[in-house]
Amino acid sequence: MSALLLRDAGWEVQGLFLSNWEEDDDDAYCTAAQDFQDARAVAAELGIVLHRANFAAEYRERVFAHFLREHRAGRTPNPDVLCNREIKFGVALAWARRLGAAHFATGHYARLETAADGPALCKARDSAKDQSYFLHSVPRSELAAAVMPLGELHKSEVRELARRAGLPVFDKPDSTGICFIGERPFREFLARYVPRSPGPIESSDGEPLGTHEGLAFYTLGQRAGLHIGGRAGRSQAPWYVAAKDAARNALIVVQAHDHPLLESRELTTGTWHWLATPRRECFRGAVKVRYRQSDQAANLEPRPDGSLRIVFDEPQRAVTPGQYAVAYEGQRCLGGGVIESRVSCGQLPAAA
């Protein structure tokens, strides 16, 4: 639809299909072959040239290697953020420029506006589909070349416009899951690259409850896959991952969805990537610590090393190191940074 809207607006449009992941031919979870056929069908319908480029090597080096390092460290990365920065608005944009492209259009649900200090990344009109969270680390110089025609539309409108235009993908299901993993079982996939390292599962008061497969295979707030049966003297309420004790290779779980160990009022990021003039003093803003989370009011304190300390008005559940904190001022995205640490509202016993 981005290509159609731009073509009809008088732009000279060409298509680019990216191959970022290579799997065995019999991999039932890889949809790249079908996706390429869909792209060819759309290009034929629109009468535009379709190029194809393979960035699998760059993806493994710049995105997947980081993904594995983070998991081996017991953290939970978000590779889609790096994919946008390193691949789509990195090597793919450079490739398009070598072909003579002046602009780089995508189907992201986000808006680009011109502000006094340069290009401004803003939320999409469709708040349920807004993807500005995933674009926060793209350099502003690359955003200056970007065009995002779907940012002003709701997804339902996009599908209807595509149907009316006769595009063969108008009812194609939304893509979900991590970009290179798709719908496959995540733990099974990760185990091909990260060795299992079993250790104890313990309650917050130190009671042994079972054995985990390795801290890399779990994330804070996780409920499924713990395989903890009923315990004498305890309720039948579900268990949630609340902490990882890397020193003892222990997984700490709790039985309340909003247990204090799962909640945090404060976090610290790594180096902050600004999409606005950098702030030097503490300021008020809205922050998301995960995609599709509603805006959370907070005080943001820039630090001399380039990181940010963020203190929320209300406790946040399952703030997860390795994920991203992204800040907003109204509709504008101010940038973001990797969550390096959090301050839990609860405290483990000293022995743990």
Q: Which of 30, 83, 122, 333 is catalytic?
A: 83
Phi, psi for 351 (deg, rounded to 5): -70, -25
Which three-class secondary structure state does DSSP give residue 94?
helix
Q: What is the rounded distance in angstroms from the CA atom of residue 298 to the CA atom of residue 304?
A: 19
- Give residue 344's identity as a one-letter amino acid code: S
- In angstroms, the CA 263 to CA 243 distance is 11
- 30 is an active site residue: no
Structure tokens at 123: 């939320």
- Residue 330 CA: distances (Å) to CA of 286, 292, 312, 313, 352: 8, 16, 17, 17, 42
Contact 122, 112 (CB under 8 A): yes
Catalytic residue among 30, 122, 179, 333: 179
Query: Are 61 and 83 spatial neighbours (Cβ–Cβ below 8 Å)?
Result: no
The Cα 118–Cα 112 span in angstroms is 10
d(C-alpha 43, C-alpha 48), whole Å: 5
**Rounded Cα gap, residues 21 and 181, in angstroms:** 9
Residue 39 tokens, joined: 């792209």
Give the integer Cα–Cα distance in Å for 212 and 195.
13
Mark whether 179 is an active-site residue.
Answer: yes
Q: Which residues are catalytic?
A: 83, 179
